C-alpha cells in the first residue's frame, strides 16, 4: 500500500494534486524523521526501503480470538492449511519499527475518535486495529454497533471509539450502500464530498483510502447534477481525471474542516496486486516457491 500523511502543506491546483508529509519545518531532513522509528540516523529513515523478515513473535493476534473479523475473511476457518504467512514483518534497512503495543495504543486513543473512511481495504485496517486492542478491554466495557455507513467500536473506560465509514469513492455515488453496493455501472457525483464529509467531522485521527473502485477501465461516469433528478446529466471522463477530481475534493475538504494541530490525517491509495500462484513463475521468475495463496 502507498500511504501519505496529509498536512497543511498539501497543495491543490487545477492540473495537479500533491501530498506532502506534515511538518512545522521546511527542513528536508526533518520531514524524513519518524517519532516511532528506533535507531534512525540524523538523516532520518526511509521506512519504504527494506525487506520482509520472519518473526516468531507474530501474529499479534489469532484469527479465532477476534470475533469482529467478517466470516468470509477468516482464512483458517475456511481451510487454509498453513500459518506461515502470519509471521512476516516489514524491516526497514536503516531503522526498526517497534512492535505494536496495545496498551500504549489505548492510552493514545483515550478521549479520542479514530476514523477509517473508504472501501474494504480500510475496513480491513479498521477490523485489524480493533482485533489488536480488544483483548485488553473487559467484555462489559466494549461494544460494536453498525449504523448506516458506520461501524463503531466503543471503548467505554477510555471514552474512545474506533470507527469505519463506508464511502468507496469518498464522493457520493450509486455504490454507497454499505451492504448492497455491487453495481456494474458505477456513477460518482461531482462536488458531493460533503454528503459523506459531514459525518467525518470531529475525528482526532482519520485515515482515508480510495483507489480500486475507480479502476473499471479507461473511462468513468460522472454525475453533474443530483441522483434525484429525473433526467440525470452524466458525462464520461477519463478515469485519471475522475480520480484526480476525488483527490482534489478530499484535500479541499481536509483544509476546510480539519485542524492540523489537533487531527492527524492519513491517506492510503493502492494496494499491491495479488496474483494467482500459477502466474508467479512468469518468464522463469520464481521468487516464492512452495508458498500457498
Query: For 106-124, how does the pLDDT look when each residue is reduced to its tens digit (9 = 90+)?
Result: 999 999 999 999 999 999 9
Gap between the Cα atoms of 68 and 50, Å rounded: 31
Residues in CB range of 145: below 8 A, 6 or more apart:
151, 152, 154
Domain span including residue 237: 3-22+92-271
Please, is 118 exposed, middle or buried when counting C-beta atoms within 10 Å of its C-beta (0-12, 13-18, 19+)? buried
Q: Would you call 81 helix, strand, or coil by DSSP? A: coil
- Exposed, middle or buried, 122 (CB in 10 Å: 0-12/13-18/19+)? buried
Domain assignment present for 71: no
Tell whether 63 is covered by a domain.
no
Percent of the chain with pLDDT over 90: 62
Task: Report if residue 53 sits inside a domain.
Answer: no
**pTM of the predicted protein model:** 0.83
Residue 293 lies in a domain: no
Reported as a pLDDT band with limits 50, 70 and 90, residue 15 is very low
Number of domains, the chain: 1
Q: Is 202 left (phi over 0), alpha (psi -120 to 50) or beta?
A: left
- Three-class DSSP category at 286: coil
Residue 96 resides in a domain: yes
The whole-number pLDDT of residue 128 equals 96
What pLDDT sits at residue 19? Answer: 45
- Domain-located, residue 137: yes
Q: Is the pLDDT of residue 273 over 90?
A: no
Which range (24-38, 123-137, 165-179) has the least confidence?
Answer: 24-38
Within a domain: 35: no
265 touches 7 (CB < 8 A): yes
pLDDT reported for residue 121: 94
Q: All 3 cell numbers of residue 131?
A: 482485533
Residue 26 in this model has a pLDDT that exceeds 50: no
Alpha helices in the chain (DSSP H): 28-31, 102-109, 120-133, 193-197, 239-257
- The reply to whether 156 falls in a domain is yes
| pLDDT higher than threshold 80 for residue 277 | no
Amino acid at each position: 500500500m502507498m500511504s501519505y500523511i496529509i498536512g497543511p502543506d498539501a497543495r491543490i491546483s487545477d492540473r495537479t494534486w500533491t501530498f506532502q508529509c506534515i511538518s512545522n519545518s521546511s527542513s528536508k531532513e526533518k520531514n524524513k524523521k519518524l517519532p516511532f522509528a528506533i535507531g534512525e540516523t540524523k538523516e532520518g529513515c526511509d521506512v519504504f526501503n527494506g525487506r520482509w523478515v520472519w518473526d516468531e513473535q507474530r501474529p499479534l493476534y489469532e484469527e479465532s480470538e477476534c470475533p469482529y473479523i467478517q466470516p468470509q475473511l477468516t482464512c483458517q476457518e475456511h481451510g487454509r492449511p498453513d500459518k506461515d504467512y502470519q509471521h512476516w514483518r516489514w524491516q526497514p534497512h536503516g531503522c526498526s519499527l517497534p512492535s505494536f503495543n496495545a496498551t500504549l495504543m489505548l492510552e493514545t486513543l483515550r478521549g479520542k475518535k479514530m476514523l477509517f473512511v473508504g472501501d474494504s481495504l480500510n475496513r480491513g485496517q479498521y477490523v485489524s486495529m480493533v482485533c489488536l486492542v480488544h483483548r485488553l478491554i473487559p467484555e462489559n466495557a466494549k461494544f460494536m454497533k453498525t449504523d448506516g455507513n458506520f461501524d463503531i467500536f466503543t471503548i467505554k473506560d477510555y471514552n474512545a471509539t474506533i470507527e469505519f465509514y463506508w464511502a468507496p469513492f469518498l464522493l457520493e455515488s450509486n455504490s454507497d450502500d454499505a451492504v448492497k453496493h455491487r453495481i456494474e455501472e458505477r456513477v460518482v457525483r461531482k462536488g458531493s464530498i460533503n454528503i459523506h464529509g459531514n459525518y467525518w467531522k470531529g475525528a482526532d485521527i482519520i485515515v482515508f483510502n480510495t483507489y480500486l473502485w475507480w479502476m473499471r477501465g479507461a473511462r468513468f461516469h460522472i454525475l453533474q447534477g443530483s441522483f434525484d433528478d429525473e433526467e440525470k446529466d452524466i458525462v464520461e471522463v477519463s478515469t485519471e481525471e475522475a480520480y484526480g477530481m476525488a483527490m482534489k475534493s478530499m484535500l479541499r475538504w481536509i483544509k476546510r474542516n480539519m485542524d492540523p494541530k489537533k487531527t492527524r490525517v492519513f491517506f492510503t491509495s493502492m494496494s499491491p496486486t495479488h496474483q494467482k500462484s500459477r502466474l508467479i513463475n512468469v518468464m522463469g521468475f520464481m521468487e516464492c516457491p512452495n508458498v500457498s495463496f
